[in-house]
Amino acid sequence: MVLLSSMTLPTIQLKLLQRLMQHVKSTHLKRLLLFFQPHTFTRTIALLDEFAEALSEADAVYLAQIYGSAREVDHGDVKVEDLAAKDQ
């Protein structure tokens, strides 16, 4: 099981997940389960494609609702379901 924060850059996440998948496949472990909660709506909008690419490395992804910043308002421009749809 891996927990990732969207505070980590997606390129770092992607490299980390690729290495984890290589490790999982080289051991007796069968699956990589990933729990992810995007942080801020603006970051999620800006990095939606990159997050989706990084998340696609896992066998199963569980997404929590976007954690909004106190400095921004949720205008409904992006939802965690948008990220889930890109990961399919």
Distance CA 30, CA 28 (A): 6
Residue 32: both structure tokens together: 């990589």
Decide: 66 and 44 in contact? Cβ < 8 Å.
Answer: yes
**Tokens 């990159």 label which residue?**
50
Question: How large is the C-alpha radius of gyration of the chain?
Answer: 13
| Per-residue pLDDT tens digits for 54-83 | 788 788 889 999 988 888 888 889 999 999
| Per-residue pLDDT tens digits for 41-52 | 988 898 898 888
| Per-residue pLDDT tens digits for 1-56 | 555 565 666 677 677 777 877 787 788 777 778 888 888 898 889 889 888 887 88
pTM (whole model) above 0.85: no
Determine the residue type at 7. M
